Amino acid sequence: MKKKRIAILGATGSIGTQALSVVREHRELFDVEVLTAAGNATLLIEQAMEFLPKVVVITDESKRAAVDEVLGSKGIEVLSGQQALEEVVQRPLIDIVLTALVGFAGLKPTIAAIKSGKNIALANKETLVVAGELIMKLAEKNEVAILPVDSEHSAIYQCLVGEEKSTLEKIYLTASGGPFRGKDATSLSTITKKEALMHPNWVMGQKITIDSASLMNKGLEVIEAKWLFGLDVDQIEVVVHPQSIIHSLVQFKDGSLKAQMGLPDMKLPIQYALTYPGRLANTFERFDFLKHPCLSFEQPDTKTFANLALAFDALRSGGNMPCVLNAANEVAVAAFLRDETGFREMSTIISETLQKIPFIASPKLDDYLQTDKEARLFAEQLVTKKKKVYQIEK
Ligand code: NAD
Ligand code: MG
């Protein structure tokens, strides 16, 4: 394999640090050319000292000087600000951009990277949730690959190797069910931030951990899958599989099912996206059937976990509605993490925002940006309005 030159957006996070462990095992195959972080200057500096990229970006402007003081003397260029992400991904020295930053912030840098012909290893699912149609068209036009890092989508991608797209009947996205699987609506209303941040099978960043507990993560993944694999909504089904061993399945026209299995470890889908179509030997722990004698399956409870139903609704409505869903969810999760709203109230905020924001059937980029702004503003107002009631009731 020719040495791949990588840019990692969001290098200091859960996916970013695991991507660097993959690279660490195969230094002969990868050059890390760009590392970026939002605010964790200490870790960014440490990573840059180890991997010696050409350039780093710290989006928090106030930390630029501190980063530059250490890395400038090592000949590493230091940039800051959100805009710098869009600039660095276009540099000719990069082959592939791993989008491991959180939320809507991933959209513009991903567009810039695609436009300059860079392949994308996509962890930032929110980009496809917000503007999936636009992104996939742009990728096709610029002949770049969008390689999924999300474990479910990586599983589907792996199952589809060697298959005719037209033979696919439907896909099953597996969901662990999160820490509150089996709970009823009443017990969900007293859930604390601490409880919601304890996922049974995966250690991840805070936002996706809350999304996993509320099943919004699965909703976002349904939308992500629709665009990645060009499916109708009815071709996508969610099945709860608490052990997280089967990462997802494809059902073909003849009824045959193909599943991709393994221990829950994000390093594998990250590595696959970075080496596709190749497979690379590694030392990751191997699956032991005797330790996992039982794999079970359940239907998701969309009555109690309304977010999954809301995501399906937004996808069926189409247009800018998934963008509204994403913005309202980002606001709701941030408010929940600040202890300003309850677990179940997050769904109310999202649902009310979806009803409020005007529908746009065929949005362009500017419409998405505007929709995101309006939806955030409205959702923030809801949080403020409901905050007092929530804190009194608590
Ligand atoms: P994280 O919070 O652990 O890390 C996020 C990284 O992005 C950090 O380096 C942070 O500094 C940077 N960042 C955050 N906000 C930013 C902003 N506004 N602008 C620029 N940089 C910013 O998150 P994570 O768990 O690694 O998730 C990253 C993405 O990957 C998310 O979209 C998530 O849904 C997706 N994903 C994560 C996992 C997982 O196991 N963690 C699995 C599947 C998909
Ligand atoms: Mg996933």
Q: What is the pLDDT of residues 60-108, one digit of tens each?
A: 999 999 999 999 999 999 999 999 999 999 999 999 999 999 999 999 9
Q: Which ligand has an atom closest to residue 269 CA?
A: 1
Residue 314 DSSP label? H
Q: How far is the CA of 99 from the centre of ligand 1 (A)?
A: 8
Q: Give the Å distance between the CA of 382 and the centre of ligand 1.
A: 26
Q: In ligand 1, which atom is closest to the CA atom of 16? A: 26
Q: What is the pLDDT of residue 393?
A: 72
What pLDDT is recorded for position 390?
Answer: 75
Q: Give the bridge partners for 122, in sequence order.
A: 99, 148
Distance 125 CA to ligand 2 centre (A): 9
Q: Please state the CATH superfamily assignment of the domain spanning residues 4-148 in this structure.
A: NAD(P)-binding Rossmann-like Domain (3.40.50.720)
Residue list, ligand 1 pocket, CB within 6 Å: 10-16, 37-38, 40, 59, 100-102, 105, 123-126, 150, 202, 204-205, 208, 266
Listed in sequence order, the DSSP H helices in the chain are 14-25, 41-51, 64-71, 83-88, 107-115, 125-141, 151-160, 185-188, 193-196, 206-214, 216-229, 267-275, 306-317, 321-337, 345-356, 365-393
Provide the pLDDT for residue 1.
66
**How much distance in Å is there from the Cα of 205 to the middle of ligand 1?**
6
pTM: 0.97
What 3-state DSSP class applies to 327? helix
- Which residues of the chain are under the pLDDT cut of 70? 1, 392, 394
Ligand (nearest to CA of 130):
1
Q: Report the nearest atom of ligand 1 relative to the CA of 18.
A: 26
Indicate the domain borders of the chain.
4-148, 150-303, 318-394
Counting ligands in written order, the one closest to the CA of 152 is: 2
| Omega within 30 of 0 (cis) for the link into 242 | no
Rounded Cα gap, residues 333 and 338, in angstroms: 9
pLDDT at 142: 98
Q: Give pLDDT, residue 386.
A: 84
End-to-end Cα separation, the chain, in angstroms: 57
| pLDDT tens digits for range 112-136 | 999 999 999 999 999 999 999 999 9
Same fold yes or no, 4-148 and 318-394: no
- Provide the CATH number for the domain formed by 318-394 in this structure: 1.10.1740.10
Among the listed residues 154, 128, 179, the one whose alpha carbon sits nearest the alpha carbon of residue 246: 154
